[in-house]
Amino acid sequence: MTIASLGRGTSGPCFDVPPEVEALRARVAAFVADELAPREGLLTEPAGVPWSAVQELRSRAREAGIYGPHIPRAWGGLGLDMRSVAVLFEEAGTSLLGPLAINGAAPDEGNMHLLEVVATPQQKETYLRPLVAGEVRSCFAMTEPAPGAGSDPRMLRTRARRDGDGWVLDGHKWYITGADGAAFAIVMARTSDSDDGRGATMFLVDAETPGFAVVRHIRSLDQTFLGGHCEVRLEGCRVGPEAVLGEVDEGFRYAQVRLAPARLTHCMRWLGIARRSLEIAAGWALDRHSEGKPLGEHQMVQAMLADSRIDLHAARLMIWHAAWVLDSGGSAREETSIAKVFVAEAVGRVVDRAIQICGALGVSEHLPLGLFYREVRPFRIYDGASEVHRASIARRFLRAVARHRN
Amino acid sequence: MTIASLGRGTSGPCFDVPPEVEALRARVAAFVADELAPREGLLTEPAGVPWSAVQELRSRAREAGIYGPHIPRAWGGLGLDMRSVAVLFEEAGTSLLGPLAINGAAPDEGNMHLLEVVATPQQKETYLRPLVAGEVRSCFAMTEPAPGAGSDPRMLRTRARRDGDGWVLDGHKWYITGADGAAFAIVMARTSDSDDGRGATMFLVDAETPGFAVVRHIRSLDQTFLGGHCEVRLEGCRVGPEAVLGEVDEGFRYAQVRLAPARLTHCMRWLGIARRSLEIAAGWALDRHSEGKPLGEHQMVQAMLADSRIDLHAARLMIWHAAWVLDSGGSAREETSIAKVFVAEAVGRVVDRAIQICGALGVSEHLPLGLFYREVRPFRIYDGASEVHRASIARRFLRAVARHRN
Amino acid sequence: MTIASLGRGTSGPCFDVPPEVEALRARVAAFVADELAPREGLLTEPAGVPWSAVQELRSRAREAGIYGPHIPRAWGGLGLDMRSVAVLFEEAGTSLLGPLAINGAAPDEGNMHLLEVVATPQQKETYLRPLVAGEVRSCFAMTEPAPGAGSDPRMLRTRARRDGDGWVLDGHKWYITGADGAAFAIVMARTSDSDDGRGATMFLVDAETPGFAVVRHIRSLDQTFLGGHCEVRLEGCRVGPEAVLGEVDEGFRYAQVRLAPARLTHCMRWLGIARRSLEIAAGWALDRHSEGKPLGEHQMVQAMLADSRIDLHAARLMIWHAAWVLDSGGSAREETSIAKVFVAEAVGRVVDRAIQICGALGVSEHLPLGLFYREVRPFRIYDGASEVHRASIARRFLRAVARHRN
Amino acid sequence: MTIASLGRGTSGPCFDVPPEVEALRARVAAFVADELAPREGLLTEPAGVPWSAVQELRSRAREAGIYGPHIPRAWGGLGLDMRSVAVLFEEAGTSLLGPLAINGAAPDEGNMHLLEVVATPQQKETYLRPLVAGEVRSCFAMTEPAPGAGSDPRMLRTRARRDGDGWVLDGHKWYITGADGAAFAIVMARTSDSDDGRGATMFLVDAETPGFAVVRHIRSLDQTFLGGHCEVRLEGCRVGPEAVLGEVDEGFRYAQVRLAPARLTHCMRWLGIARRSLEIAAGWALDRHSEGKPLGEHQMVQAMLADSRIDLHAARLMIWHAAWVLDSGGSAREETSIAKVFVAEAVGRVVDRAIQICGALGVSEHLPLGLFYREVRPFRIYDGASEVHRASIARRFLRAVARHRN
């Protein structure tokens, strides 16, 4: 290295959002204001947002040129990298309708990524094409009721046994988001009993396959996921050899392929919700008076606003950083894990503070904060509970320190 | 003082629950288990718990000898002091149906106390008697939409002007809990513009009085208050001289009479909810396994359980202490303010941790934790937001320190 | 039970401080103001508070009638119960010299209690009498350097082997508070290898016994313990049969006898420090102006003051409660464990907030807050780290819940 | 914008550290390990690190090619931009000797920046040249004892009145870091009484100027700043016209020029301390056993390690981001304010957790954690207390929201 090569002009970490991404972001912001904000009543309809309304929103998003930021251009999307997706998903996430409109909601968005990476060309035609087109929905069927797979996926009990050239699946899945109305499920089933982190296989199962049944909706604190959270039974559910996604016994590995980016896009979307919550609270702090001055001039309110600003700033930087790692070809297991823990908790704090600032109005239907409060709480549990991530982060760090000492 | 009078036997702070109160508590616990637990589905009925069901529960509570712990014996209740009420309300509070069953729910319970202290004998016959009998409900109409009375009651805008020997009330009330279906309202209205903390008057207004109208329900994050949270309009609402509760212009003072004990009974009830949440979480921690051992043997779960134990312990002691001050004849403004801030926040933490321990099950309908989560959040806002109480606590303390220095 | 026996007069939890205890408390407060406050410079002398100064303070405390609140009257103290001790130790604790003056500092205070309960009459004459008289100091030698006994006492490695009718002790003790200058040590040594929580024995070892050596001082963040924290070597240290304290192999049980009340008196003393810190901060908040008004009118300062008020209130109630359990004959393992975790953390928060309110002055030598900050930090580690207590609290609770279900 | 210009290759936020900076970082790391770690005993010498030792360290740093990362190349430093400085200051900050060695410690480092931006060429020759050469030290004299300038600089009371072509300064400065031994001071004094945020002027005052006197050291919780924190008296201190730094009455504006980057370099240095603390704790968690397994396998320890990892990650990203804003020519008042609040608190948490993990060892002299604990606490107060920054952040945000609505 020549010191001479250094100087005030040395490049390094950079936080520019490219102008074309910024322009797209502005489009998304306008779309949220013009198209989504007036329709948010859809979110509290007893049966959930109607599928026809989703189709309509997607059609408008296409017209606005903002459909599918994460979908490859060859498949009809904008084909952006994760850093740009981060910007657009945050903006779309300021409305709970936003991710639906741009077809970037969970679990479909994660499934698209998984299929893109792992599926065969034929499987892509059959499953990925209608999914990215926004014509169908899908679900990811891993979780099981106790004592099955939950925070610890290795407790998987659903089994697939070979039957001729195909497989027969039997098991009980639980809390399968989006299952009701999904055209197909990616089902995780045990295919061998090895203890080495292998032994599970992913299967693509059409919803109409005999033996595959969505048996009930499980009502939850959150309520806006399309298709709800469902209980699914697999009883003698026979699928052909073409149903195997990727290689047999490699399901746990693919689950990781899916999970790291999927939890990051979750972070992006929830960041939008949190930002909107803070903006609502700031508006109220400007307007509402108490003891002779606006709420916003009371320091306890200022402290809440400042803490939320700080939380959002840290959350956004962590998301961008993890996105950069993914764009650079890294697995980002560590970075997305860290981001997930922090963002899930920060988003909860920001929404909670917004409610507190708005007082009784904040818990009333006049503001969406109560709804947001319900939606964001489970995020500390979904995609790996905070405790599970913390344990992983610590173990990984301790291993690194141990290696470094030797 | 003779040192000789001291010794190991010196009396001092004591935490015994008298055996007769303990016996009553056990009865309440049995009642919750036998009568209420099986009926908790009532709580999530779309229109709220039906009035007929409440009547039925009260009838059974009477049979069980647990009706009205706080209601004077002359009025048909158990006539207990606040410390004993604390024990029974906590126990009843382990079910959201409990306070309804024993007629100890807000806002009726606070109104009973206010009427008992301030009302004339005739007003007591007319309003208190059917209320303590559990035959009617009531509401307390103080809060107004911005820019009216909220956290700062002095911003009161509803006016009562003299009209012959009576009064005419005009104003707009908002978030009036229990208004729909209430037989009468205690309405706070401005009767003069003094700036000395006086100038408001309380009026007893029958629900059918012309000019008094419940115009709509405001849906809220919490959903189990009987009669919801309502918007109320007073337009040329004429009442006679007998409607004045207490003295003219002394409404703010009476509001304090009502608020200190009312916020404490809130604490008692919510403590029950928190305790139940912790017990549910502990049960799950014993049963559910992860990584080869019960959740309860994972230290991060232990930390949450321990923190909740500590929170409940502190909360209970603060409630008992404030109850003792009230029983001793004190106003307990300071003690109930401190208890309210701590208990409201502690209860929120305990329910939140219980959800986290139970994972996806915790936010699902299979456990009542999601419901509790919604119910307890507003408690940090109702009865004075935490910020308002903190400011009062600090000011009172600074005044005491300043006095002590002079 | 007859309901008739109930009524507004029902007794229950009570928080009265008896007038004679209150009178003693006032004496202690006056003593702190008049005798100790002017001498606090002693605390920062490089070699620690001189023993002669301690003797002088004890003599004055005796004259003031406040010496030895916890010491039985037969042994020359006030013979108060734990609840009264709580009141007086808190008051004395407002100066770091207070506990020394009344001979209620650690580790002597805990050792007195242990000797009182476990020692033979002869041992009491030899060791307890001069200790309660304040003529000598003592230490408790349990902790060892890694991999020996620390948070987990069962890792004890110091050994005592029988030698004739006596014993020979060999081992390495570490962080032995007060060892330098102590007249004797209570040494914990392994006498058998049972795995059932037995196998350790306590020995009374005179400081001049050959083979017992205080080898060095370990400087620590805290700096005001008399005799420091020391490293002690036991090498062929021979003691007679009369050195055994209590029964052979029962040392772990006696350690519990000592620990529960000892950690509670720690809480009492630190509560005093925290209260004084808050009072200092309040004084500054009244005097110092910023942006045109006293600091105390800025809400962020109010929030800190209020949170500290709440913390102190909860801490005091927990201490009183645990003291009541001890006075009632309970072991109070659970209650002192809960109190210890909460109080240690609350005291840390209160001192930290006081510093923050006082700004640069708060960390300067002009206020004792920086010293307090150093002194209180280790309290979350000493007497069982918070983590160890949390695990115990959770396990105990889970066992109770499991029992209750069966 | 052409959507066609987008694609997976879109650039955006980037977190690469350039290889030449990474190489420098590695040199600094080696320097800390080889040169500084063995000399850290200097930090606890009663009179502070000797100036001769500092000179020696600087000479070695020059040889190692790591001297003055922030000093322009023309002035003998490495001339790096702030992002690169961030990387090197963090690394140097892992030893409290590091910033001294590379001449990047407060307050000199901030003074260099101020002089570089504001001073005349002649002033630079006189004051900046020996300062960047590491031959002299300096101080920044703004703070005053109450009721003067503290958190609120507008309360400035030190006055400068014109006297011929020069000025005479009178005032009392307090907590002036590094004053003892400084060759010169930058003194802030009031030159007019305007209320518009102007009216203060900066003066360059040689230490030997008659009327300028360092009257005493103020001992503080932290203890490693060269030259301590001092009280300074200005009594009839006459300086010539060439002593004015920048323009008359513009001192508050220059203070901002100094403060934004100066608080950011503080963050960089403390981040190093925090990282080292975490690494020490991790090492202990690997080595020390409790209950039959390494501490690091206990989840409560894992939770602390993970939270510290998350804190450090967020802190570093915020620092890099603010550095990028400065490198891009922004004032970074907002970004450095946010970073300062978060980093100061995060660093405190990380050091505190490290102590907790290490137990009694953590507060003992055997580890530097107790020293770090003392050093980092004031950082939440210095350079603007957290409360002051929070209020500014909130006000700025509210203004932005208000603007956006109009």
**ipTM metric:** 0.95
Q: What is the pLDDT of residue C328?
A: 94
Interchain CB distance below 8 Å, D300 and B298: no
Interchain CB distance below 8 Å, D355 and C377: yes
HSE-CB at B377 with a 13 A cutoff on CA atoms is: 32
Domains defined for chain A, CATH in brackets: 19-104 (1.10.540.10), 138-248 (2.40.110.10), 253-405 (1.20.140.10)
Q: What is the pLDDT of residue C7?
A: 43
Residue type, C35: E
The model carries a pTM of 0.96
Q: What is the pLDDT of residue B183?
A: 98
Q: What is the pLDDT of residue D1?
A: 30
The Cα of B343 is separated from the nearest Cα of chain C by a number of Å equal to: 11
- Nearest 5°: the CA angle D145, D151, D152 is 95
Name the packing angle between helices D299-327 and A386-405 (round to 10°): 80
Q: What string of DSSP letters covers A266-302? A: HHHHHHHHHHHHHHHHHHHHHH-EETTEEGGGSHHHH
A76 touches D at CB < 8 Å: no
Per-residue pLDDT of A161-170, as tens digits, reads: 999 999 999 9
Interchain CB distance below 8 Å, A290 and B152: yes
- In this structure, the number of other CB atoms found within 10 A of the CB of residue C121 comes to 8
CA distance B11 to C87: 12
Closest chain D residue to A18, measured at CA: D12
CA distance B356 to A375: 15
CA distance C201 to C189: 5
Per-residue pLDDT of C231-273, as tens digits, reads: 999 999 999 999 999 999 999 999 988 998 999 999 999 999 9
D152 touches C at CB < 8 Å: yes
Q: What is the pLDDT of residue A2?
A: 34
Token pair recorded at residue B391 = 């400011």
Interchain CB distance below 8 Å, B365 and A152: no
With beta carbons under 8 A apart, name residues in chain A contacting C299: 298-303
**pLDDT beyond 90 at A95:** yes
Q: How many CB pairs under 8 A join A and B?
A: 123
Q: What is the pLDDT of residue B195?
A: 67
* Torsion angle (degrees, nearest 10) of CA A287, A293, A295, A300: 170
Interchain CB distance below 8 Å, C298 and A299: yes
Q: What is the pLDDT of residue C195?
A: 67
The Cα of D188 is separated from the nearest Cα of chain A by a number of Å equal to: 29
Span D116-131, mean pLDDT?
Answer: 97
Q: What is the pLDDT of residue B163?
A: 96
pLDDT band at D5 (very low <50, low <70, confident <90, very high): very low
D290 touches B at CB < 8 Å: no
Per-residue pLDDT of D132-163, as tens digits, reads: 999 999 999 999 998 998 878 889 999 999 99
Q: How far is CA A336 from the centre of its chain?
A: 12
B326-355 residues touching C, CB cutoff 8 A: 327, 338, 341-342
Closest chain C residue to D391, measured at CA: C300
Span B3-7, mean pLDDT?
Answer: 41
Residue in C288, C377, C387 nearest the CB of D300: C387
Q: What is the pLDDT of residue B11?
A: 66
pLDDT band at B150 (very low <50, low <70, confident <90, very high): confident
Closest chain C residue to B297, measured at CA: C395
CB-CB contact of A284 with A356 (8 Å):
no
B222 touches A at CB < 8 Å: yes
Comparing A260-264, B192-196, D19-23, D199-203, which segment has the lowest mean pLDDT? B192-196
D125 touches C at CB < 8 Å: no
Span C61-77, mean pLDDT?
Answer: 97
Per-residue pLDDT of D6-65, as tens digits, reads: 444 456 889 999 999 999 999 999 999 999 999 999 999 988 999 999 999 999 999 999
D222 touches C at CB < 8 Å: yes
Per-residue pLDDT of A280-319, as tens digits, reads: 999 999 999 998 899 999 999 999 999 999 999 999 999 9
Per-residue pLDDT of C355-368, as tens digits, reads: 999 999 999 999 99
Which residues contact residue A61 at a Cβ distance below 8 angstroms, ignoring those fewer than 6 apart?
A31, A67, A101, A102, A103
C56 touches B at CB < 8 Å: no
Per-residue pLDDT of B359-389, as tens digits, reads: 999 999 999 999 999 999 999 999 999 999 9
B120 touches A at CB < 8 Å: no
Name the packing angle between helices C386-405 and C333-363 (round to 10°): 150
Q: What is the pLDDT of residue A391?
A: 98
Per-residue pLDDT of B308-342, as tens digits, reads: 999 999 999 999 999 999 999 999 999 999 999 99
CA distance B253 to B118: 11
Tell me whether residue B193 is exposed, middle or buried, using C-beta atoms within 10 angstroms of its C-beta: 0 to 12, 13 to 18, 19 or more. Answer: exposed
Tell me whether residue C302 is exposed, middle or buried, using C-beta atoms within 10 angstroms of its C-beta: 0 to 12, 13 to 18, 19 or more. Answer: buried
Name the packing angle between helices D369-376 and D333-363 (round to 10°): 150
The 3-state DSSP class for residue C187 equals: strand
CB-CB contact of B320 with C10 (8 Å):
no
CB-CB contact of B303 with D300 (8 Å):
yes
C303 touches A at CB < 8 Å: yes
Per-residue pLDDT of A119-129, as tens digits, reads: 999 999 999 99
Partners of chain C (3+ Cβ pairs below 8 A)? A, B, D
Q: What is the pLDDT of residue B3?
A: 38
In Å, the largest CA–CA distance within chain C is 79
The Cα of C159 is separated from the nearest Cα of chain B by a number of Å equal to: 32
CB-CB contact of B179 with B111 (8 Å):
no
Per-residue pLDDT of A182-218, as tens digits, reads: 999 999 999 998 767 789 999 999 999 999 999 999 9
Interchain CB distance below 8 Å, C302 and B390: yes
**pLDDT beyond 80 at B393:** yes
CB-CB contact of C57 with C97 (8 Å):
yes
- Nearest 5°: the CA angle A163, A167, A170 is 110
- Phi, psi dihedral angles at A65 (to 5 degrees): 75, 25
Interchain CB distance below 8 Å, D84 and A6: yes
Per-residue pLDDT of D60-93, as tens digits, reads: 999 999 999 999 999 999 999 999 999 999 999 9
Closest chain D residue to A321, measured at CA: D15
A88 touches D at CB < 8 Å: no
With beta carbons under 8 A apart, name residues in chain C contacting D377: 352, 355, 363, 373
Interchain CB distance below 8 Å, A288 and B147: yes
With beta carbons under 8 A apart, name residues in chain C contacting A299: 298-303
CB-CB contact of A327 with D15 (8 Å):
no
With beta carbons under 8 A apart, name residues in chain B contacting C79: 6-8
Per-residue pLDDT of A75-84, as tens digits, reads: 999 999 999 9
Could you say which DSSP state residue C16 is in? P
Which has the closest alpha carbon to C70: C222, C254, C269?
Answer: C269
Which has the closest alpha carbon to D89: D111, D114, D106, D113?
Answer: D106
- In this structure, the number of other CB atoms found within 10 A of the CB of residue C168 comes to 18
Of C279 and B6, more confident: C279
Q: What is the pLDDT of residue D24?
A: 97
What percentage of chain C carries pLDDT values higher than 90?
90
Q: What is the pLDDT of residue C73?
A: 95
C148 touches D at CB < 8 Å: no
Which residues sit opposite D263 in a β-bridge? Answer: none
Residue in B150, B175, B289 nearest the CB of A364: B175
Closest chain C residue to B342, measured at CA: C310
With beta carbons under 8 A apart, name residues in chain B contacting D300: 299-300, 302-303
Interchain CB distance below 8 Å, C303 and A303: yes
* Torsion angle (degrees, nearest 10) of CA D54, D58, D186, D49: -10
Q: What is the pLDDT of residue C11?
A: 65
Q: What is the pLDDT of residue A11?
A: 66
B215 touches C at CB < 8 Å: no
CB-CB contact of C372 with C351 (8 Å):
yes
D140 touches C at CB < 8 Å: no
Span D313-320, mean pLDDT?
Answer: 98
CA distance C62 to C70: 13
